[in-house]
Each structure stands twice: as C-alpha cells, then as structure tokens.
Homo-oligomer: A and B are copies of this chain.
C-alpha cells in the first residue's frame, strides 16, 4: 500500500499551481502562495471544518484570505479540495487565471467563485470583514445554538495590518472577545518598497494585538506541528488570537525568495525551474500527481460526517424554528413585513407628524425591527444622534450575543466592513450608522458591499448643511453625489415620515444591493398625508405635488428640500405660474427605471429646476441645463435656518430661479 503524500507534497501542490498560473497569465502574485502554503495546508488538512461538496453549508468554518493578492493560494486550495463539486474550479479555470470572464479573477470575488467567502484585495478589508463573520456566528448561535458552532480563520499580510482599518477591526474583536476568530499573520518581512523595515521597523504586532485584548504568539510558518499546536491553543482561548507566522516570501525561488521581487510579478521560467529543483517537485506545470490530488480530495471530504451530523441536528429542530433558520440563512424577508408597513403608513398619513427624518427613521425601525428579527442595528458612537436604537434591538455585550444592537465605537470603517462580514456570513441584515459626512471614512467597505452585491442598509444622519452648528467639517455637500456615483449603491434621501419607511422597505427588498438612508437632523413637515399602498419611493422618483393645469416648471428635489420645493410651488402659483414637484428619494433607483417611466416623471415642462442642499454634480441627468439651487462649496457653522439663508437655499430662491429661466 502506498504511503500517503508528505506534508511538503501537499504544500508544493499549492505552490506550483500558484506560480504556474501566475506564469501563464504573466500577471499575479506568486510570493504569498509560495510562502504561506505550509500554513494553508495545516489549516485545510487539520483544522478547517468544511465539506467541499457544499461550500454553502451554513455551519462551515470560514476562511478569509485577507491578503487577496495571494488569490492563487485560495484558487489552488479550492481546486485541490474539490470545493463546489461539479461547479468547482477546474484546472482549466486555473489556467484562465486573470483572464476576462474567468472564474479566477486577479483578486477573490464573492459570489463569483464557489468557496470564496468574501471579496478581498483592498488591504485590511478581509480581516475586518472576518470580524463581522465571527460576530455573526456568535449572534446567530445565541438563537440557534445546535446548528451554529463554527470558527473564522484569516490569513493577513503586513499590508492588512498596516491599514488603519485593522486597528478598528481588532479593537472590535477584542472588545467583544470573539474567541472564534483566529488570524494568521503572514510575517514575511517584505513589502513592495523593500524590506518591511524600510517603512515599519517599529510596530511589534504581537504586543499590539495583546494591547487590544487578543492572544498572540509567534510560530515558524514552515513548522506544521508548531502551527497546529498554536491553532489548538487559540481554539481553547477565550480571546481572539493572532498567530504570527514567520514565513519566506517566494519560498523556493532561487534568487527571488525573501525579496520584494517575489511579491507581485510572474517569476519567469528560470526561477520556476529552480524552485522545482529546490522543492523536489519534478512535475510539469498544472500537473498534480494522482496521490497528491487524491489526498487533497480526501481533505475536501473530511467534513462530510460533520456535515451529516449537522443536518440531523437541523432536522431535529422544531419545524417552525427550522423554517425560521432556513429563511434567515436564505436571505428571505419575513412574509408579514409588507402588512406591518402598510398599516404603519396608514397611521402616518393620519398623524402627519412634523419630525426630523432621523426621528422618523427611529419610528420606522420601531415598527420594522420587531417584524424582521434578522435586522441588526448599531451606531459608530452616535446612538443618541442617529436614532437607530429601538426597544426590539437589545444591545449585545461581550457576555451576551442574543441582542441585535451594536455599539461599534468611533470606527465607521470597521463598522461597515464588519457589516459586510455579517451579510456574507448569512442570517442577518446588518445596519450601521453614523453621520453622512463620515461615509468618507467607510468608503472602501461601502464599495465592497456594492461590488459583492450584498444587502447592508446603513443609516447616515445629519445629511446636509441642515445639521447646522457643527459646520463644514461635518456638513456633507459632495457625499450624496459621490455615493450616487458608486455602482450598485443605493442612496435614499426621504422627505418625510412616509417616505422614510418606504425607503427602509425598498432598501430591505433589494437583496443584492447595499443602501444608505440619508436622514436629517432638522425637523421636516409631513408631505404624504394621503395613504397610498404602493411604495412610491421604490422607483426612485415620483410626482409628489402636481401642477394645477399644464406645468411650466418642474421642480426636482430630495429629502429636506422637497418641502422647500413645495413652498416654491406655492409662491409660483401666487404669481400665476403652474409648477409641479417631483420628489427624488433615490436617483440610483430612478435611473434603473424603464425609459418611459423616467420620461413621464421628468415631464415636458419648459423649465426644470433642481434643489438639493448639496452640490449640483449629477443632477444634470435630470434637469439638463436647468437652474439648480444648492451648494457650490463647503458649508458654514451656524443655526441651520441661518445656514440655509446664507447659501440662498430657500423657496424664494427656487421660485426666482424658475421665473428667471421662464423669462429668459
């Protein structure tokens, strides 16, 4: 009987698939897979709970390659273990690495390749997303303990740990004592600019993680036994763990090993030939010996019994709870939500409250959260300002994960990335909150949510100069435009209470897009005083106040400026000018509509005016060269009414702009 392949053979299979694929593409990163193949082998062979036949098994351990540039490490592992079965990566997929349309793009992409848990590449995102996965595991386990019991493993690079995002992420994980989170640091001492010492000779990462409440230790990243023993210790800990693995970038490459040349370019035939000799791997490119492949496939099948036992535990759940678990993990909204929202809209139409939309958002959440148990809210230390905490969303604490409100701390980026992690983990619709201006801090994670097509619904309040006294550092003027410019990101800016709940509903219904609700600090009058069953906001724009007779003027506005537009309409009416007002709660959704809808909403009035307390950028697509009343620079500190006056964003100014153009 043949002996089973050695550890080195298993690791070399990863190494050479990686260098050969990079070589074929003449593009990519051989250095990390060569250096980290040993620890990846230990992790997949001896540690990770997974069943390659079903990469969607909800109770699998998650593996996040935070250093996404080392994508060939992951693709090699997915191929070798047979992840995804018939849908899994083939050798041909590996040969198509970094080609248009392939399943092996330059960086791992969620939803694109079976077994890829999250999109990585922008550094720091993987580790921060993994924090959200680990949090989701604890929170889901608090409600479904018999079927949720797994860990999250991360492979992070120097770059991941240099990014500020890593600080936010490890602080959150340390605070919540996420002991099921285990991070391997690929400590190879090499950076693109040279030795890491050129730019980071000072940071003691082990001490740094310990200062954040983590366990942390050093191991030799070539020593399989030492790695495994460090993992076992980490699994037994009551804290998250960093395992600093000393590795050699480009391990085996004759001249590039241990240098920045090994990092991000094809190694070339001579280097690869030399590595084949050095590492005793005499096989041609893309050829894996049958015994090695078979050993790897056994690794892939290793979790099948666990998976089967889990299926039994799932089957033993009370049918209603099982259905609820499956609904939540499947990402379906509760059946009763529409009825709850309709009843609430009827109530609002009668009450017609004058209220800030942040308060309207709180009231909407008080209705939605009880009906949507998977909705998790929170705030980046602005709970009393964002108004995202309601009775149904009890706080989680390090000792009790049964709640669903998260105090993220002043960590907008860490919050947004962790929300992404909760969404890709499954079982939750996460929602963070801060001031709209500070979307800038979270933008790389917001972008990844859009790219991954995941449902995350953030609440960003204080959405314009209308926040007043805090002044230009806190007043968004360009953020609305910059978020509208982001593909697949939906920015909702409701004008009153009814629009607020409609925007919440529309955002929740978009299973494949993240949304941002931009809400005001200042009070706004009720505009929607007649109940309409249809969600008018969902189509992005609609006529909220028709003209009497044929409109000479159309006024387009969003959020707090819709009431101002309606006041302008009244002024114009007094002067005999018929104007209509279109509310544009979501320009992104509006541009998705069929052309006939867009045309009918934009209408044929001679003059089209836009009004928004923000920059004009992007509005031309609706108003053409019509006048725009808004901001052309940064804001000003002062009581909000005075600030609106100062910048001339008033009903009078809108009416005048329309009249001037009519007369032109």
B-binding residues in A (CB < 8 A): 25, 27-28, 68, 98-102, 105-107, 109, 119-124, 158-159, 162-168, 171, 174-175, 177, 191-194, 198-205, 207-208, 210-213, 379, 381-385, 398, 407-411, 413-414, 437-438, 440-441, 443-444, 447-448, 450-451, 468-474, 477-478, 481-482, 484-488, 615-618, 620-621, 624-625, 631-634, 636-639, 642-643, 646
In the complex the two chains form, is B478's CB within 8 Å of A485's CB?
yes
Give the CA-CA distance A437 to B123 in the complex, in Å: 12
A411: B residues at CB distance < 8 A: 162-164
Are A163 and B410 in contact (CB-based, < 8 A)? yes
Q: State A404–B98 Cα separation when bound (angstroms).
A: 37
Chain B residue at minimal CB-CB distance from A165: B164
Known: A101-B638, A193-B379, A481-B482. 14 other contacts (CB 8 A): A27-B469, A68-B473, A98-B469, A100-B636, A105-B471, A106-B469, A109-B473, A159-B381, A171-B203, A204-B212, A207-B210, A208-B212, A487-B615, A617-B618
**Given A109-B472, A470-B106, A441:B438 Cβ within 8 A:** no
Q: List 15 A-B contacts (CB under 8 A).
A: A98-B638, A99-B642, A105-B471, A105-B637, A106-B474, A119-B473, A163-B411, A167-B167, A177-B202, A193-B381, A199-B408, A208-B208, A478-B487, A617-B617, A624-B624
Chain B residues contacting A437 (CB-CB under 8 Å) are: 122
Q: Tell whether, in the assembled complex, residue B191 and residue A175 are in contact, meaning their CB atoms are under 8 Å apart.
A: no
> Quick one: closest B residue to A646, CB to CB?
B100
Instruction: Please name all residues of chain B whose beta carbon is closer than 8 Å to the beta carbon of A634 when the two chains form the complex.
Output: 450-451, 487-488
Interface of A, secondary structure class, is: loop
6 pairs of A and B residues whose beta carbons are closest in the complex? A164-B164, A202-B213, A100-B638, A167-B167, A105-B637, A121-B473
A100–B482 CB distance below 8 A: no
Tell me whether B638 and A121 are in contact (CB under 8 A): no
CB of A631 to closest CB in B, whole Å: 8
Tell me which residues across on chain B come within 8 A of A207, comparing CB atoms: 207, 210-211
Q: Which residues of B contact A487 (CB under 8 A)?
A: 477-478, 615, 631-634
Residue pair A639, B410 in contact (C-beta under 8 Å): no
B485 touches A615 (CB 8 A): yes
Contacts of A472 in B (CB 8 A): 105, 109, 451
Knowing A106-B637, A122-B437 are in contact, say whether A25-B469 is a contact too (CB < 8 A). Answer: yes
Q: Which of B98, B165, B175, B383 contacts A201 (CB 8 A)?
A: B175
